Each structure stands twice: as C-alpha cells, then as structure tokens.
Structure 1
Amino acid sequence: MSTRKRRRTPASDWNLPILTDWGLKPRQQRLLVIIASIAGVLVAAVTLTTVIAALGSDARSDTQQAAGLSPEGTRPEKFEGWASPKVFAPIAERAKDAQPVTAKELFAGKTLTGAHKVTLKLAEKSVDTDCSAALWGAELIAQVGDAGCSQAARAAYTSTDGRYLAQFTLLNLNDAKVAGELVESLKSLHRGGWVRPLAPFPPDAYTEGGAYALGHYVALVWLSRADGAEPSPRDDFANLALTVRAAEKPLFKRVVALTGAS
C-alpha cells in the first residue's frame, strides 16, 4: 500500500515579520499592503497636481510679464516720448529747484478743463517719497532709482461725462540729463514696466501713454476710455492728454520764481 506524501503548504508572500509580530494573518497583511499602496498613489497624485498647478501659475506669470502685464494693470498699447523744452532749462538741476513738490501745489484744482468741452475731475491723488511704490517693472524701477528719484506724484481723473479715465504722474529726478534718458528708455521700456494705477483701469483696457521730460522732472500721462475699448474717431486722446497735462502748470511757476520772467 503506497502512502501519499503530504504536500507542504508554501510560505505566504504576505508573511511580513513586523506585521506578523503585530498579530496580523497573511490575508490581513496583504489587505493592509494593498490599502497602503493605494493611499501612496493618491498622495503622489495630489502632490503631482499641486506641483503642476504651481508650475502653471508660474508659466502664466511669465507670460504676463512677457506681455508687459502686471497685477496692477496693463501697459500702454500706444506710447510716445518727448524731450524737455528749452523753457525748463532753469530747472534742469534739482539742486537749483530743491523744494519738494506737494499734492497741494500740483493738484490743487478739482477739475482740469480742455478744448472741445473736455473736463477732468480729480478722483485720487498721492505723493510718494519711495518712487518704487508708484511703479512696476524691475528695470524701470532700477533706472528711476539710479536717476535719484525722490518723489512720485500721481493724480487720477475721470471725465465729467464718465467717458474717459486719465492719470498724471510726475517723477522728481536729479537732473535733465537723467530725465531725458528715462524718456528715451521708456520708448521700449514701457513694455515691461510702467506706472501703477492710482485708480483702476478696466481689465484688459486699451490705454495710451506718454512721457515728457520737463527739466529735472518726467511727467507720465496715461489715458483710457472708461469702458476700456479702443478709441473711435470721436475720441480725441490728443486733446485728452493736453487736458491732463494742465497739472504741469506749477512747474512753469517754478521757472518764473527762479528767473523772474513773466
């Protein structure tokens, strides 16, 4: 009579010493390992999603910077710059025009009136001794700092008919040389750095800007329709710019005070 050998049961692959010590049977150990593996996959997926989202945010930020955008608004789509007129030669150096400008001096009038019945009403005003507070764009801020900017005066206006927005900014620099250099640089530099809006422009608004050297000062003008749309033939942005530039009048008074000319 032959005897059948009893086959030995193979050791389980799920007989892990540390889990056996905890009193878990092979089937329980297998279930625990499967659950842990699934949890690990989920954690990895969440982590990967977070990383991708962060990279996407950085990519959008880089794209915005490349397009000339900032958290504060957009750069001007159209820009022009002008050298200082000879009339401002007496204030070509801040050393000869040392008195700081004030909001009361520059923005005393509540309205500015131009041709064709354009009237701008003062909405906000500010004078910062830290010029970087009024600007964005690392290269622009660096150049303005090198130019010895001591003040950035800003005023925001709305037209009385509600159709237009305008901002006037005056930078107080060391001398006419650096003022002229800044205006020239801004012909391309405005794409990556500009003025911070004192009052918000509409999102994705079409805007136009200009820079004017005025002795040791630089005036920056920024214009937009209130609805953010591109100007139509009935929108005279040139006249709008002349209207907001009436804020420059106190600088002419400074020239008169130094020269005695009428």
Structure 2
Amino acid sequence: MMTTPARKRRRTPAKTQTWSSPRLEEWGLSQGQQRLLAVVGSVAGVLVAAVVLTFVIGSMSSDFVPERATAAAISTQPRPEAYKGWVSPKLFAPIARSKADPAPLTLKDVFAEKVLKEGRTTLKLAATKMDADCSAVVWGQGLADQLAQAGCTQAARGVYTDGRHVAQYTLLNLRDTASADGLVQSLTTMHRGGWTLLLESGRARFPIGGYTEASGHAMGHYVGLVWIGRADGAEPGAKDDFVSLSLAVRGAEKAVFRRVVAAGPAPAP
C-alpha cells in the first residue's frame, strides 16, 4: 500500500519590520524613542542586545563555571557563591562618560515600579536607598578602593522578594565606561572578599552562608549588580526559576535606557 506523502507546511511570510519592540515598549519607550535608539545602535542591535541579556542571565544557572568563594575569604557578610561580569555593549556609547549624562540618579527613576514581573515571577519592592558615599554600601577594602578610583558618586539599591526568593539590584554611577568595564571584570575574583551590603528589610534578607548568585553589567558609565537567591539560603531547585528572577530585577535598568535616549543624537529627518 502506498502511503500519502506528508504535506509540507507553507512558511509564513516574514512580517514587515517596524520600529516597535515589545520589550522596549514595556520599558516605557515610545516609538519615537525607539527610533532614536535605532540611530544610536540600530533596532536590530537593540533586539540582539535583549536576546544576549537573556542568554547572559540564563548562563548564570546553566553552563558557565562560576568562581567559588573560599574559606580564606570567610566573612560575616552574605556574598554570592557564583558571579559573572559583562562589559558594556556599544548601545550605551552615548553615556560612555558621566559628563555626557550629568543628571544625578534618583530612587524615583530607578525603582519607580513597585512590582516587577517576568514569566511566572512576580517581585515586590521591599526597600530602597540612595547613597552618595559608595564605600558605605560595600564591604571589602579592595572593592571600596576600586569604587573610589572609578569615581563612584552614587549607589542606588533596591531589594525585592516574592516570599520564596530575594533579589537585590544595585546601580552604581561611575566616571566612564572603562571604569565600569574594569569593575565588572575585577569582581570575577574580587567578589570572594568584597561585595555589596544587603539593604536591610524585615521582609527580605539573604541568610549568611546561604547560596546566592550574582552578575555585573556595565552600561556606559553605570554598573548594575544583580544578586539573587532563595530566602532560606538553599540552592535552587526545580521550582526555582533563577533566569526569570534575574530578568525581573533587571527591570530597574529602564532608567539607564532612558538616559541613552536623552544623551543620544537627534533622529535623522
């Protein structure tokens, strides 16, 4: 008996490219602002960057070999067991130097949203704080010294929780991209003996000695530090989506993208 050959599916025609990106719309950027980002780095570049960011966060819990803390660096302060740093993409070239982006950060800008969502993850903001003395928000003399050398003028911290997890985001305002790149790379080993202090909150706290993961992201003259873990300190299990957790807390970076738009060139007529 002859069998009827399987019918081939027709490929759906590619949609016409537009200036709209759902991710950037979620971050509060109008189509005009998205067009300006296209002038800065091209819309394709923005979308690729978003994909890369997703992959970067995903790699934290998958295939990269983390730097582990050692007994020689035992501290009474909680710190990440695993860390990965990422230098600044070209997208952030308009804010490569703080002189091109002189307006100071505000808590209202960085932590405007009290609830952050990504997939099935929903984080609620538990506490925020802005410090002009960057050395006051870290422990470890080496890290404090590097922040001083990098010309750090502000450190904005926000801590979130969903009851099961804790996530802290720290945004550092440095001198330039070179300083930001140097910091995220140095933390690959420096995090063993120095890290950000956990912002005190009665609802969200990392237990000392518990397992946590972190990543550092240079964005022009800014550095964003993501720090996540379970509230009980246990390592992530099947019910713990650290990828979505990391992406959710990075919603605070909307403020940095808006500064790229503000500092970028006017769109061509």
Asked if these proteins are the same fold (TM beyond 0.5), I'd say yes
Residue 243 of structure 1: aligned partner: 248
Gaps of 5+ in 1: 1-63
Deviations, residues 6-46 of structure 1 (Å, cap 9, x unaligned): xxxxxxxxxxxxxxxxxxxxxxxxxxxxxxxxxxxxxxxxx
Deviations, residues 138-186 of structure 1 (Å, cap 9, x unaligned): 0010011000000010000001xx1110000011000000100111100
Name the CA distance, whole Å, in 2 between partners of 1:93 and 1:102.
18
Tell me by how many angstroms 1:227 deviates. 1.2
Runs of 4+ with >6 A deviation: none
SS in 1 for 2:73: coil
Equivalent positions of 1:73-84 (< 5 A) are 73-84=77-88
2:263 alignment partner, one of 243, 255, 258: 258
Residue 43 of structure 2: aligned partner: none
Residue 142 of structure 2: aligned partner: 139
Alpha carbon RMSD of aligned pairs, Å?
1.8
The amino acid that maps onto 1:228 is: G
Q: Larger helix proportion, structure 1 or 2?
A: 1
Deviations, residues 198-238 of structure 1 (Å, cap 9, x unaligned): 03312321111110001000000110101110001331212
The amino acid that maps onto 2:105 is: V
Residue 197 of structure 2: aligned partner: 196
1:69 and 1:75 in contact (8 A); partners too: no
Equivalent positions of 1:173-212 (< 5 A) are 173-199=174-200, 200-212=205-217
Name the CA distance, whole Å, in 1 between partners of 2:71 and 2:148.
23
1:176 and 1:217 in contact (8 A); partners too: yes
Tell me by how many angstroms 1:66 deviates. 5.3
1:126 alignment partner, one of 125, 129, 136: 129
The amino acid that maps onto 1:178 is: S
Name the CA distance, whole Å, in 1 between partners of 2:129 and 2:110.
10
Name the CA distance, whole Å, in 1 between partners of 2:128 and 2:74.
23
1:66 and 1:192 in contact (8 A); partners too: no
TM-score, normalised via structure 1 length: 0.71
Tell me by how many angstroms 1:118 deviates. 0.5
Which piece of structure 1 moves more, 194-203 or 135-144?
A: 194-203
Name the CA distance, whole Å, in 2 between partners of 1:128 and 1:186.
20
Tell me by how many angstroms 1:65 deviates. 9.3
Name the CA distance, whole Å, in 2 between partners of 1:203 and 1:188.
19
Q: How many residues align?
A: 195
1:98 alignment partner, one of 89, 97, 102: 102
> How much identity, in percent, do the aligned residues show?
53
Name the CA distance, whole Å, in 2 between partners of 1:248 and 1:195.
18
SS in 1 for 2:209: coil
1:68 and 1:75 in contact (8 A); partners too: no
Deviations, residues 86-121 of structure 1 (Å, cap 9, x unaligned): 111100000000111000110111111111x10110
Gaps of 5+ in 2: 1-68
The amino acid that maps onto 2:75 is: S
1:155 and 1:167 in contact (8 A); partners too: yes
Residue 225 of structure 1: aligned partner: 230
CA 1:65–1:128 in 2, change beyond 3 Å: closer, same or farther? Answer: farther
Tell me by how many angstroms 1:67 deviates. 4.1
